Structure 1
């Protein structure tokens, strides 16, 4: 069972409607954020958050809710910020997927494939290709087996090396959030 403090979409939606919303940090890639995000949230991708944790901590002295697609990356961000000494951290239960399912408002941009869908496409394509090639090239199927092992490890460890690699592609990066801009936005919202 997870020990990460969380907040349900219904409770967060009520807080937003009442004007008592906590600071919302969306730790998804810039591409994912541009596709759909909670109004008023700030995009600080997980790798940027980890890299600039000390700088961010000085500007996060209130309640903070961390948002990602489903909750896994937000839990990693919670751990990184909590290790830095930041109290009052929570993760949005079920992430942006649960938020949208609850009918809460979302700011939309151009449609993009989310990271999980990209991972399924790449992993499935590699397994399919190596399975077909394996008919003619002995041992090629072992590449598919390695991908399967990697996906199993990703599920058990709640991490995804393929997702990390795919997040580096230009399609997912978009304009990288500048940490100075993010901090200026956080400062001006205080």
Structure 2
């Protein structure tokens, strides 16, 4: 699945959509700045939280971090676990805050 731009995500949120957004940054990073409606699951804990995400395997899941590196790893991991529609937020939180 193609990744998503910050502008596209902001537009969808402003239109009232509520996509599944997973912030894979550390908790303190999420507390400093976050996207409305996101779930904070730090990358290192993602394998332990898979059961909690099982209902989303066939849904669009948007992952993000600060700049895109950790969320790229999360996208690859979730895809390997059978998630069919994982999208990485291009440029991460840095891009989102500028969009």
TM-score over 0.5 for the alignment? Answer: yes
User: How far apart are 1:50 and its partner, in Å?
Assistant: 2.2
Alignment of 1:71 with 2:65, yes or no, is no
TM-score computed with the length of structure 2 as normaliser: 0.91
Distance in 1, matches of 2:59 and 2:29, equals 25
Distance in 2, matches of 1:27 and 1:62, equals 18
Aligned match of 2:3: 6
| Bigger helix share | 1
> Relative to structure 2, which stretch is displaced further, 25-34 or 42-51?
42-51
The answer to whether the Cα contact below 8 Å between 1:66 and 1:89 also exists between their aligned partners in 2 is yes
| Structure of greater Rg | 1
Specify which of 14, 39, 46 is matched with residue 17 of structure 1: 14
TM-score computed with the length of structure 1 as normaliser: 0.49
> What 5-or-longer segments of structure 1 have no aligned partner?
103-190
Specify which of 40, 43, 50 is matched with residue 43 of structure 1: 40
The answer to whether the Cα contact below 8 Å between 2:60 and 2:86 also exists between their aligned partners in 1 is yes
The answer to whether the Cα contact below 8 Å between 1:57 and 1:81 also exists between their aligned partners in 2 is no
The answer to whether the Cα contact below 8 Å between 2:18 and 2:37 also exists between their aligned partners in 1 is no
Aligned match of 1:89: 86
User: How far apart are 1:5 and its partner, in Å?
Assistant: 3.0
Residues 130-174 of structure 1: per-residue CA shift (max 9 Å, x gap): xxxxxxxxxxxxxxxxxxxxxxxxxxxxxxxxxxxxxxxxxxxxx
Backbone CA RMSD of aligned residues: 1.4
Distance in 1, matches of 2:47 and 2:91, equals 22
User: How far apart are 1:58 and its partner, in Å?
Assistant: 1.3
Q: How many residues in Structure 1 have an aligned counterpart in Structure 2?
A: 98
Aligned match of 1:28: 25
Aligned match of 1:59: 55
Where in structure 1 do 4 or more consecutive aligned residues deviate above 3 Å? none
